[in-house]
Structure 1
């Protein structure tokens, strides 16, 4: 069977391509995992297109891998077994905004910045910010979060309904527009974070929020990581309306100063953001400063001017670029874990110790309000020894997290990189997950090789 020719019988010819450049673009994401070419890339325009593609692929046992912006960090969109890549670039419409219901209905190819630009007209915004301008379909598939999760929650908390096409081509809805429901199983929670292994999203109904009257940003430096984290815990205990709470270690501050020509104290530093009203935030920011000073804070500044806030947050968001800029020819290998807040300080110190022992440079940063932290490892991608060290550091960090009641990934997802830890983390519950996979995708065509090892589809000759 010639796959592209068969697919053009289902779709128009301009929706199907085997152009080598486009195949290469869809062979990788932002991760360090080895690229792999799909056999064909398809650009669906509707839910019906997706349904017909999956029915065909299921009948012939051809792998299907959804693709959003390619900004994933664990190889989710890499078609490791070839087959069909579904690119949702043509399904990028904002279908409906419901201002009074604080929700929006979108197609999966809509990006978060595209959505927020439109929502701003209504005085609303979508809260989840993973850093990259990712597609909302991809963010739901990986259960993305980011800097605002401490206040507004993660992607799973924003999903009210998903339109999902199953492996056999059936289309279902997992929820509705209501704020809550006690009816039936929580399918929103099941499909969000399933990384394209249980179904393909063709429509999302998401929760949105009112733009706060006032936003303030702050930066606070401390002699030790422990003091910074004690401050973070006290802020949360006090019920201060914190919207962002990020920890950046001293090595990273040094790199920021070099890259952006800033003069921040080279110490563990909290980057904070507050959402509320003018009078309230003046008091909350002053209270936060007192809390920080009790933990020997040596430098506390805050900004309400939008330009100055963006400048402050630029230092945090551009950290990866700062290390890339300072290490020509090197590669940044990132990973994440999430631990209980009570052991976050020990976890971060453990990560830094492992990096120093291996003589690997890089950053340790965290969304410390929810216990999620990242390491950015600066390595030579052509040096097998560097790659081995990075693997060992990642392994040690994950094992430490699992030993202390944490998870192998807080927001990046499992993809290819964290499969090996699933049995350790989930135990017998992994068997339940695999049973669900077999039930919904018995021929294993949906993003095979991700989340957990499963037998691959028995494909026909599709050259």
Structure 2
């Protein structure tokens, strides 16, 4: 497979479209105080967790219903003005940036759990519901939604980016867990895709088309999800290793042996140090696996003993078990705070966060070579990985006043992604393409597949107003 010919790190050239006063006036007439042109509000909606900077949108509409979204999109379509959906702003690859200008539609106020069908193990929510809110509202039913990307992301945003996270090795990703959608199209029409049935052979799979489309084909206004019974028993453990390779080999053997582990997270020694300093913990400062087991008490015990034996064969030691909810929360909070711990470790830094995913058998090759390159570069970094499904993340910590550091970090990113593609992996396991991975997607998918994507985009969005400039260039 050929490597990309450019480093895929520069902000695309801005081609801002005109946002006429008549559109702003129309939005204010329709939405009143729910349409804001205040610079502070626009700035908040014109940035995410990426390292890119772009001008803010010209206005922000706070939608409270599907009809609000449809009316805002219709007004924007009449003026051929871009529309960027906004949830909580936690995306990492520039998805929310108004690179061609336009308006932001904030769906965070559409935050109701619409129905819980416990007997069918499904739930229907509005897009502004966050994953923690959802689980809080359904826990009394004995059910839970397992997709956990770390951030308390909105369900609409998780759908748009095809998110996954720490539980994906056991429960899959948003692709497997979204059953049906309500979507506002580029013309402002409202369509429904899929049903609550577990399977269907009826027509094109429009649900899967929308899941992962990053707001480029429509605005998600309702999501029907699979949910799962809370496991009878849950146990978590951490295990330290003499090297990253030892931790990765343990993971590979666990998966290949068929152990139904629910979570297995790799944290490198840099990240352990950062988390210790940030959270005032005393974790052993070595590469570490953080694991969780779900099932019956006997099943969880068997799984844990099997993994402990495998780990011991690779020098794993200092097993620490966490069987109570409080102990498990402490461990997973430390993992989820890795990003913030890293940022605090270098005050004033910006983070280039990147991820790849490879077949589990190639994980050691890809990860170890990438770690060696990062160590040799001198750029501070953190490394975490949902390694049970071959997915891992680097965060390179840059001084924004030293341009050379950004160049070096993007070279590392380029080398990392090229390595993953050469090993038959993907340029992004869960962050999405956004702005940062556009060139890599061409390499991964091929020109023919990209042309097909463009054909779909042009057919469904002929004015190119739905989050333009993301995933691929038209």
- Are the equivalent residues in 1 in contact too, given 2:356–2:427 (CA < 8 A)? yes
For the residues of structure 2 that align with 1:12 and 1:433, how far apart are their CA atoms? 34
- Are the equivalent residues in 2 in contact too, given 1:4–1:17 (CA < 8 A)? no
Over 3 Å counting, the alpha-carbon distance change for 1:255 and 1:49 in structure 2 is closer
Query: What's the secondary structure of 1:206's corresponding residue?
Result: strand
Q: Which residue of 13, 27, 33 maps to 1:7?
A: 27
Q: CA deviation at 1:261?
A: 4.2
- Are the equivalent residues in 1 in contact too, given 2:31–2:61 (CA < 8 A)? no
* 2:153 paired with 1:134: yes
* 2:327 paired with 1:308: yes
Q: Partner residue of 1:459?
A: none
* 2:454 paired with 1:429: no
Give matches, 1:319-398, under 5 Å: 319-398=338-417
For the residues of structure 2 that align with 1:68 and 1:306, how far apart are their CA atoms? 29
- Are the equivalent residues in 1 in contact too, given 2:249–2:364 (CA < 8 A)? no
Over 3 Å counting, the alpha-carbon distance change for 1:444 and 1:222 in structure 2 is same
Q: Partner residue of 2:464?
A: 444
Encode CA deviations 1:25-51: one digit per residue, 9 max, x unaligned: 111011111132111111122222222
Q: CA deviation at 1:258?
A: 3.5
Over 3 Å counting, the alpha-carbon distance change for 1:260 and 1:37 in structure 2 is closer
Q: Partner residue of 2:423?
A: 404
Q: Partner residue of 2:206?
A: 187
Structure 1: which 5+ residue stretches go unaligned? 455-463
TM-score, normalised with respect to structure 2: 0.92
- Paired positions, count: 453
Q: Partner residue of 2:240?
A: 221
* 2:316 paired with 1:297: yes
Q: Partner residue of 2:3?
A: none
For the residues of structure 2 that align with 1:321 and 1:433, how far apart are their CA atoms? 36
Q: Partner residue of 1:461?
A: none
Q: Partner residue of 2:88?
A: 69
Q: Partner residue of 1:178?
A: 197
- Are the equivalent residues in 1 in contact too, given 2:151–2:336 (CA < 8 A)? no
Q: Partner residue of 2:10?
A: none
- Are the equivalent residues in 2 in contact too, given 1:351–1:364 (CA < 8 A)? no
Query: What's the secondary structure of 1:414's corresponding residue?
Result: coil
TM-score, normalised with respect to structure 1: 0.95
- Are the equivalent residues in 1 in contact too, given 2:134–2:145 (CA < 8 A)? yes
- Are the equivalent residues in 2 in contact too, given 1:95–1:107 (CA < 8 A)? yes
Q: CA RMSD in A?
A: 1.5
Q: Partner residue of 1:414?
A: 433
Q: CA deviation at 1:8?
A: 3.0
* 2:318 paired with 1:318: no
Greater shift, 125-134 or 245-254, is seen at 245-254
Q: Which residue of 169, 193, 197 maps to 2:216?
A: 197
For the residues of structure 2 that align with 1:109 and 1:300, how far apart are their CA atoms? 39
Q: Partner residue of 1:248?
A: 267
* 2:181 paired with 1:162: yes
For the residues of structure 1 that align with 2:329 and 2:142, how far apart are their CA atoms? 20
Greater shift, 270-279 or 281-290, is seen at 281-290
Structure 2: which 5+ residue stretches go unaligned? 1-19
- Are the equivalent residues in 1 in contact too, given 2:261–2:303 (CA < 8 A)? no
Greater shift, 335-344 or 264-273, is seen at 264-273
